[in-house]
Amino acid sequence: MTTAKLAKFEFKQGFHRESTQYAEEDKWFDGNRVRFRAGKPENIRGYATKVSASFDGSARDLIAWRDNSNKKRAIFGTPDKVYEHDGDQITDITPITTLVTLANVFGTTAGSTRVCCSDGSHGRQKNDWVLFTSAATFGSDVSLQGNVYQITSIISTDVFTISISGNAGATSTQAGSATFNYYIATGTSVASQGVGYGASDYNAADPTSVGLSKITATGGSALVTVSCASAHGGVANDFVVFQNTSIDSVAATIGGNLNLTKSAAGGPEFTIVSVNGTQVIVSAAANASASGDVTSSINMTALVYKQTAGGGSGVAFLKR
């Protein structure tokens, strides 16, 4: 008769995967939703949402501390704004860099959410934010008072557009007045591409935004020639992103079937194949079904990201 004995196993805390599960004797090799307390494993009992409030952008960095009253506080930043987490609330604390009070500066179209804002040499870029205070009603029923809006497009160095929640009741030009409170400039939410660690600088520089004057496709070919309205500064192997000029615009279709803002054509991001002056040549994910040019109602702009810095192959290596 065999006598059973209790055996005591002492497993080291933590997961040890430097070798195989058979070689890691007396150690935990794998697990999920487990934490160790006093050397013993226990289930992590899930999590609960701390704050249900939404915010703009994706959090990129966070600083946490306790104030003099021993209250937990945190500040976190996104590519769009800066927020404070205080108890159960999130507060927008994005710095305001410039204030200017202007009159007769708004334009609307009846039945449209688009509002044109005039500010000479405003220095803004698409996706920046502006808070309007001391604002007078215009366009029959449009009030911007106390609201923060994201700039949807840049018309010129003196004019940009925003989108409001409801349609304007009337068409107006050079109407209304307000104080423009410009938030600190936004950053890009897209990292530079590359192969391997250090292959490219993260957000090495702001992209060059250019308008488009002509797009040409050849039937049976995936190559598309994009003529920019100004110098783009790009070279072969840089990246170009095509985006709609506004939230309510529809980008033109080229060659019968190619919309460069859509994934079906390989968009909205492409590697530049070659350049010729202000022209950028890219390769779509499909061949054009017909030859043709588009010179009007293009409704797209191009963002050119420089990729000339850095190097590396991304090849794994072993070291003993």
Q: What's the CATH number where 173 sits? A: 2.40.30.20
Quote helix, strand, coil % in the chain, to nearest 5: 0, 40, 60
Coil, strand or helix at 229: coil
Is residue 124 included in any domain, yes or no? yes
Tens-digit pLDDT profile for residues 89-121: 899 999 999 999 999 999 999 999 999 999 988
Residue 56 located in a structural domain: no
Q: Is 178 found in the same domain as 144? A: yes
Residues 6+ positions from 150 with CB-CB distance below 8 Å: 56, 80, 127, 128, 129, 162, 163
- Verify that 166 and 213 share a domain, yes or no: no
The mean per-residue pLDDT over the stretch 40-68 comes to: 83
Q: Is residue 172 part of a domain?
A: yes
Q: What percent of the chain has pLDDT over 70?
A: 89
Mean pLDDT of the chain: 84
- Residue 315: predicted pLDDT: 35
Residues 220 and 168 in one domain: no
Q: What is the pLDDT of residues 163-215, one digit of tens each?
A: 999 999 999 999 999 999 999 988 766 554 544 444 444 445 578 889 999 99
CB neighbour class for 214 (10 Å; exposed up to 12, middle 13-18, buried from 19): middle
In a domain, 80, yes or no: no
Number of independent structural domains in the chain: 3
Same domain, 175 and 112: yes
Q: Is 295 domain-assigned?
A: yes
Distance, C-alpha 254 to centroid of its chain: 26
Residues 215 and 290 in one domain: yes
Question: Are 284 and 225 within one domain?
Answer: yes
| Full residue range of the structural domain in which residue 32 is found | 12-43
Examine residue 197 and state whether it is found in any structural domain, yes or no: no
Helix residue ranges, H only, 64-196: none
Same domain, 173 and 132: yes
Whether residues 114 and 170 fall in one domain: yes
Check pLDDT > 90 for residue 58: no
Residues 226 and 298 in one domain: yes
pLDDT by residue (tens digit) across 236-267? 888 899 988 887 788 899 999 999 988 888 88
pLDDT of residue 189: 64
196 within domain boundaries: no
| Residues paired with 300 in a beta bridge | 244
Residue 23 covered by a domain: yes
Least confident span in 57-61, 246-250, 269-273, 307-311: 307-311
Together in a domain, 173 and 243: no
Q: Are residues 157 and 219 in the same domain?
A: no
Global pTM value: 0.49
Both 212 and 131 in a single domain?
no
